Structure 1
Amino acid sequence: MPLNPIFTDLLKTDFDNLYCLGIDKLREWYDNSWDDFQGDVEAVRFVEKRMVKTSVRDTPIRVYYPMNSGPYPVFVWIHGGGFVLGNIDVYDSICRKITNHVQCAVISIDYGLSPEYKFPEPLKECYQVIKWIYESAQVLNINPDKIAVGGDSAGGTLSAAICQLARDRREFPLVYQVQINAMYDLLGLTKPASRVENAEGYRLTTKAIEGFFVQQYLRELSDASQPLASPLLADSLAGVPNACIITSEFDPLRDEGEYYAKRLSEAGIEVCLRRFDGIIHGFFNMQRLLPEARDALALVCAKLSEVFRK
């Protein structure tokens, strides 16, 4: 399918040149770049800010509560931004919509960004926050047996790794995972064709992935071969939660997401895989601009609702 022409003006920006701005200016640009795309901010019952003490640092989280009464199932959200950019404010409207449409609590993690916090610190941090959520179920008024996790882009990568870690450590149960446009193979060791086909011209480039984001995230490039950095490289995916995986046709990360879904299915995991044709990386947060973004959100909400009703 041809690229959606709605992206024509957006893609006139020289995105690779932005990485020369320096981390602070790049983060400021990224946070502001979503202002024209995000959907309306819906009211929820209330929003609570908390701080969770982890071995990495004191981690800010934001808890969104729906209008109904608890204890609530909970969806833990991990934001995108290539491990380097983003924060919980960028996805505030998304979290509010999921809270209302699924009638669950949503907990968004403001994890430490790279290069200040390099692998495996953001993974440890998010994992420990979810363990705290599970252990603090009574305080949070949530159901500890109904915790799902998910994220966009790098947040999806972290959520996939968390599912593998939770399976192996058995410190808390997870009932579902959601990943949108996630990176499962940091340096493309599995040779995904989409990293060549969609290497440039579609906002996120292969050069940016491998030459900037991954280099900021890892201490050593050899760490990319670790499954907790590149979830696709795990020997086995058996025993992780069922999944909803969303990819985009013109995303360099498309093929590794679809290969990950295939490997999950081969391991006996129930997978809902949906590719959005004509669409680029980062579309999920373009709720005001794209019907496809709203369709993707509706799919996520439907899958979470189905899981939480069981």
Structure 2
Amino acid sequence: MPLNPKFQKLLDTDFDNMYSLGVDKLREWYGKSWDDFKGDVLEVGTVVNRVVKTSKRDTPIRVYYSEVKGIHPVFIWIHGGGFVLGNIEVYDSICRKIANNVNCTVISIDYGLSPEHKFPEPVEECYQVVKWIFENAKELNINSDKIAIGGDSVGGTLSAVICQLSRERKEFSITYQVIINAMLDLLGQTKPKSRVENAKGYRLTTKGIEWFVQQYLRNLSEAKNPLASPLLADNFEGLPAACIITSEYDPLRDEGEHYAQRLSESGIEVCLKRYDGIIHGFFNMQRTLEEARDALDLVCTKLSEVFSK
């Protein structure tokens, strides 16, 4: 399908040139770059900012309670940004809509960014936050038997890794995973064709992926570790059911679809949807893209189905 013409003005930007700005300026630009695309900030029941003490750092989280009182399931959200960019604010409107539409509590994690916090620090930090949420379910007024996790881009990467760690460590259980445009094979060792077909010209480029990976890893050999590249895990059995969203013009498209295939082959229930004519990062373009709103509605529908069981 042809590229959606709504991206034309956005793609006039030379995104590869942005990496020469330096991390601080790039973060400032990235935060502002979503202002014209993000959805409206909806009212929810209550929003509470907290800090969780982990072994890595004091981690800010934001808790979104729906307007309906009671003990609710919880959806844990991990933001995207290539391990280097982004924060809770970028996806604030997304979390609010999920809290309202699913009638669940949403908790967003503001994990430490690279290169200050390199692999595996963000993995362990996010895992410890999820464990804290499970252990403090009564205080948080959530149902510890109904914990789902998900994220956009590398937020999806970290979510997939936490699902694998949860299965191995058996300290808490994850009910469902939402994986959106995720980087699941950091160096492309599974030879995804989309990294060649969509290497340049569609916002996230192959050069950009390489830059982000270099910021995240201490050594490129770490990319072979499934805690960095969850697609490279040997065993997919026993992982939670999944909603996986990919985009036609995303260099990460094929690894997301390969991940869905690996889960399905292991007997895991998977909802896979590819959005044709669409680029990486579209999920947060709620104001401008019908496809983004459709994808968010899909996520809300799947979470509602899972939480109602």
Q: Give the structure 2 partner of residue 184 of structure 1.
A: 184
Q: Give the structure 2 partner of residue 38 of structure 1.
A: 38
Q: Structure 1: any 5+ residue segments left out of the alignment?
A: none
Q: Structure 2: any 5+ residue segments left out of the alignment?
A: none
CA deviation map 1:91-115 (0-9, x unaligned):
0000000000000000000000000
In the alignment of these two chains, the number of paired residues is 309
CA deviation map 1:2-58 (0-9, x unaligned):
000010110000000000000000000000000000011100001001100001000
Q: Give the structure 1 partner of residue 22 of structure 2.
A: 22
- State how 1:159-308 maps to structure 2 within 5 Å: 159-210=159-210, 212-308=211-307
Structure 2 CA distance, aligned partners of 1:129 and 1:186?
Answer: 24
Amino acid at match of 2:282: F
Secondary structure of 1:90's counterpart equals helix
- 1:71 Cα deviation (Å)? 0.8
- 1:70 Cα deviation (Å)? 1.8
Amino acid at match of 2:50: R
Structure 1 CA distance, aligned partners of 2:287 and 2:240?
Answer: 31
Secondary structure of 1:258's counterpart equals helix
The RMSD of aligned alpha carbons is 0.4
CA deviation map 1:253-295 (0-9, x unaligned):
0000000000000011000000000000000000000000000
Structure 2 CA distance, aligned partners of 1:188 and 1:138?
Answer: 42
CA deviation map 1:168-188 (0-9, x unaligned):
000001100001000000000
Structure 2 CA distance, aligned partners of 1:161 and 1:131?
Answer: 14
- TM-score of the superposition, structure 2-length normalised? 1.00
Secondary structure of 1:19's counterpart equals helix
Secondary structure of 2:90's counterpart equals coil
Structure 2 CA distance, aligned partners of 1:39 and 1:151?
Answer: 17
Structure 2 residue 70 is matched with structure 1 residue 70: yes
- State how 1:106-185 maps to structure 2 within 5 Å: 106-185=106-185
CA deviation map 1:145-165 (0-9, x unaligned):
000000000000000000000
Structure 2 CA distance, aligned partners of 1:240 and 1:79?
Answer: 21
Structure 1 CA distance, aligned partners of 2:6 and 2:18?
Answer: 22
Structure 2 residue 122 is matched with structure 1 residue 86: no
Structure 1 CA distance, aligned partners of 2:42 and 2:208?
Answer: 33
- 1:69 Cα deviation (Å)? 1.6
Amino acid at match of 1:237: F
Runs of 4+ in 1 over 3 A off after TM superposition: none
Structure 2 CA distance, aligned partners of 1:174 and 1:269?
Answer: 13
Structure 2 CA distance, aligned partners of 1:40 and 1:184?
Answer: 30
Q: Give the structure 2 partner of residue 99 of structure 1.
A: 99
Aligned identity (percent) is 76
